[in-house]
Amino acid sequence: MIILEYFVWHYGRAIRQGFIIWKNIFWFLTHFFSLSLLLKTLFQPWKRMREYRGQGFDIGRFFETLAVNAITRLVGFVMRMAVIFMGFASLIAETVTAAVTLIIWLLSPFLIAPLFALIPLFYFFGKEENQKKRMDAAIADFCFLRLGASGKEEDLLAVSKWGERKYKERMGKKQWWLKENLARIPGIAKDWCFGATYTLDQFSHEFLFTQASFSLYSAEHQQQVLAIESALLKTSQANVLLVGEAGTVKRKIVRAFIDLLERGKIHPALEHKRAVELDANVLAASAKTKGEMEELLLKIFDDAVAAGNIILIIDNFGKFVKSVAGLNVSVSQVLSPYFASSALQFIAMEDSDDFKRVIEPDSSLMQYFETVRIKEPGEGELVQILEDVADVAEKKHGIIVTYPAIKEIARVSTRYLTEGFLPERGIDVLENVSARVAATKAADFAGAEDVLNFVKEKIKMPIGELESGEKEKLSNLEQILRQRIIDQDEAISAISGAVRRARMEIHDTKKPIASFLFLGPTGVGKTETAKALAQVYFGSENAMIRLDMTEYQEEGGLKKLIGAFDTGEPGILASAVREKPYNIILLDEFEKSHRDVEDLFLQILDEGFFSDASGKKVFTRNSVIIATSNAASKLIWEIVQQGANPASEKNKIIDFIQGQGIFRAELLNRFDAIIIFSPLKQEALKQIAKIMLEKLNSRLAEKNLELVINGALIEKVAKIGYDPVFGARPMKRAIQEKIEEKIAKGMISGEFKPGAKIEFTAEDLENL
């Protein structure tokens, strides 16, 4: 049975595999010796070297030109025929060798009968099920190393696919006879059929892709590679412009296209093209005047056209256009014949902001390019990209990067990190975490916890598992906030619930953590609530970005927030959020904002980001947004005077605001909650007075003094510090002018010495 099985393999699958190897080598030899191209151009001049007669007829010049052209064609014919001869000789030799090998293989079981017992060993070693066992064993080892502590079934499945892909890549590289491996060996004589590019070579280089090579897993990115091919096949204006965020994704897509070009997996019209990248910096530095720049550009592009096989790549296309424009040279005017021609093709790349500022407004330039927009990879694709580059970090730092770590890097890079662009910021986290683990020598593995610790330190934001202190704080957040916020339970419940949902990551992560509109009279605790949340949960009131919206009620208010494109001045909001990505954004007196500013916050509340003046995204997905407004304060007072609770009349208040045109319905609907702050009652005022006096006492403790806080003092402060119009806001000023002033005078006169207790008598209180 075993012998029969062996014969089936020997005369079946093994011969088929041998035929595939022969076919691949046959293809490689035709590719290596450029046979189809050389035959097609057999009688063309050597490297397109050709003389032309000038205007008028000169018999001497005529025969000289004829002789030169004949010589270049003869040289081209001889050189090509030599290579063609070697190519066909190689094909014949390979075919004969394959035929002899086939005959020997067919007869081998009978010719070497004494050694026949050994032949099945090769069979069993190459047997499919045995190959499968070896692959399974390799994948099992891979999974053991990279699964980490995760016991999830989906993680095991993902790591198995990762391991299988890596195994096949490794084995594929060992099989030199595969077409994709043979195609990477450069051929000879291809450039004989095309012109030399002496001037172009001084200002260009082979396309470089320094990032670790990773595959294009996104179907969208694969389509973008095909879009490049399609654009370059047009009969005129065969140019493409890739537009995307800064980073290597655009270059990765161009590299993928060049790979297809080099491996011959491309449309025949592009098969023998040569892709080179223009060195715009060298070009810009080589010309000092308008005339010099124009002359240099014409020389370079004439060179490329004469060559007949150039695809010119220009990265940072907008910067190239601007550098040329610095010498009063218009790229669209000088180079339009080249952009319009089919003899030369362009692949340009540009970041989104420079595209908007420089290229898109230039319609005369845009008409020559087909625009392909590149998006950042999603979390799922980022995982696969990180899998491909993980081995680079592993070899560099001598550690193993586990799958849970990669999955966590993809999650935090997408959700919490905002500076930079994907996949670069994910790759940066991978590199930093690997370096940190290797430096601490705490373990040979980088796990999810290592990722979380690194990101927590970087963004100063609690993520991952709850620590015991944080768990207690979140559970008792309402009680903690009530120590500062008096008699506003609806607001406290709303913001506490929002923070808990965000911390447990069950909120909509594509929007801000939470957004509230606080409505109510002045001095009832709207701003104080935001301050209290910043102090209690975000760690400091400095985590709050406070904007007085009265400063943004004019037409230029939007520019102040996002920056001005024309002057290059940065925006206040854009800069603040970039500096503190985990924050509370407080919008005081929001109803006074300009309509353009309201439109900005419509986007922020809905999408969790906005674009600054240069077009760069600023993310607010780690922000709590609180807008305050005194709108409808009079109506709220009337409701209170009628003995009703304003919170129960919320719909009436909102209808009034909309009816007065203060806020649009679409803006109101963007907020997670609209909170009504009621006017403060007398008992609440006493509690606020006590809190303010205790704050004063903590400051006096630094001077080794103590203020005696009793009921009489609290009641007096509450009485003199309350105003029906301004609420409790005058209380702070009353304490400063009446209490702090008296204490300061006593300290100066020596009445209140260090260690003293300061107590206000009934007479003192009467005189306040």
| Segment 512-537, tens digit of pLDDT | 988 999 988 887 888 888 888 888 87
Higher pLDDT: 598 or 729? It is 598
Residue 678 sits at φ, ψ, to 5 deg, of -85, 155
Q: Do domains 468-676 and 682-767 have the same CATH topology?
A: no
Confidence bin at 443 (pLDDT 50/70/90): confident
Higher pLDDT: 158 or 586? It is 586
CATH architecture of 468-676: 3-Layer(aba) Sandwich (3.40)
Token pair in block for residue 702: 């630094």
Confidence bin at 151 (pLDDT 50/70/90): low
Cα distance between residue 229 and residue 266, in whole Å = 8
pLDDT, tens only, 664-684: 989 999 998 888 887 777 777
Residue 459 has pLDDT above 60, yes or no: yes
User: What is the helix (H) or strand (E) element at residue 583, kind and residue range?
Assistant: strand 583-588
Residue 55 has pLDDT above 60, yes or no: no
What is the average per-residue pLDDT within 473-495?
Answer: 83
Token pair in block for residue 731: 């209380």
pLDDT, tens only, 91-134: 999 999 999 998 888 887 776 555 555 555 555 545 555 566 66
Q: What is the pLDDT of residue 654?
A: 86
**If you ran DSSP here, which 8-state letter would residue 251 be given?**
H
Average model confidence (pLDDT) across the chain: 82
Q: What is the pLDDT of residue 128?
A: 55
- Which segment of 149-153, 251-255, 331-335 scores lowest on mean pLDDT? 149-153
CATH architecture of 682-767: Orthogonal Bundle (1.10)
Residue 416 has pLDDT above 70, yes or no: yes
Confidence bin at 195 (pLDDT 50/70/90): confident
Residue 551 has pLDDT above 80, yes or no: yes
Residue 753 has pLDDT above 90, yes or no: no
Confidence bin at 58 (pLDDT 50/70/90): low
Q: What is the pLDDT of residue 212?
A: 46
Cα distance between residue 453 and residue 254, in whole Å = 36
Q: What is the residue extent of each domain of the chain?
A: 1-193, 194-373, 379-459, 468-676, 682-767
pLDDT, tens only, 32-41: 888 888 888 8
- Which segment of 90-99, 298-307, 488-497, 592-601 scores lowest on mean pLDDT? 488-497
Cα distance between residue 489 and residue 724, in whole Å = 21
Cα distance between residue 380 and residue 85, in whole Å = 52
Cα distance between residue 327 and residue 317, in whole Å = 16
Nearest Cα neighbor of 19 from 131, 129, 95 is 95
Alpha helices in 444-570 (DSSP H): 448-459, 468-475, 477-482, 489-503, 526-536, 557-562
Residue 547 has pLDDT above 60, yes or no: yes
Contact 245, 423 (CB under 8 A): no
CA torsion through residues 486, 488, 492, 495, sign = negative
pLDDT, tens only, 564-574: 877 778 889 99
Cα distance between residue 705 and residue 103, in whole Å = 107
Q: What is the pLDDT of residue 605?
A: 93
Cα distance between residue 516 and residue 674, in whole Å = 6
Nearest Cα neighbor of 148 from 398, 409, 404 is 404
Share of the chain above pLDDT 90, in %: 17
- Quickly name the fold that domain 194-373 has: Rossmann fold (3.40.50)
**If you ran DSSP here, which 8-state letter would residue 279 be given?**
-
Q: What is the pLDDT of residue 563?
A: 87
- In the Cβ-directed half-sphere of 517, how many Cα atoms lie within 13 Å? 27
Confidence bin at 588 (pLDDT 50/70/90): very high
CATH code of the domain occupying 379-459: 1.10.8.60
Residue 242 has pLDDT above 90, yes or no: yes
Residue 474 has pLDDT above 70, yes or no: yes
Q: What is the pLDDT of residue 313?
A: 94
Contact 709, 697 (CB under 8 A): yes
Token pair in block for residue 414: 């997408």
What is the average per-residue pLDDT within 59-82?
Answer: 77
Q: What is the pLDDT of residue 115?
A: 52
Distant-in-sequence, close-in-space partners of 310: CB < 8 Å, separation ≥ 6? 197, 200, 273, 274, 276, 304, 344, 345
Distant-in-sequence, close-in-space partners of 277: CB < 8 Å, separation ≥ 6? 204, 205, 206, 207, 208, 312, 313, 314, 315
Confidence bin at 742 (pLDDT 50/70/90): confident
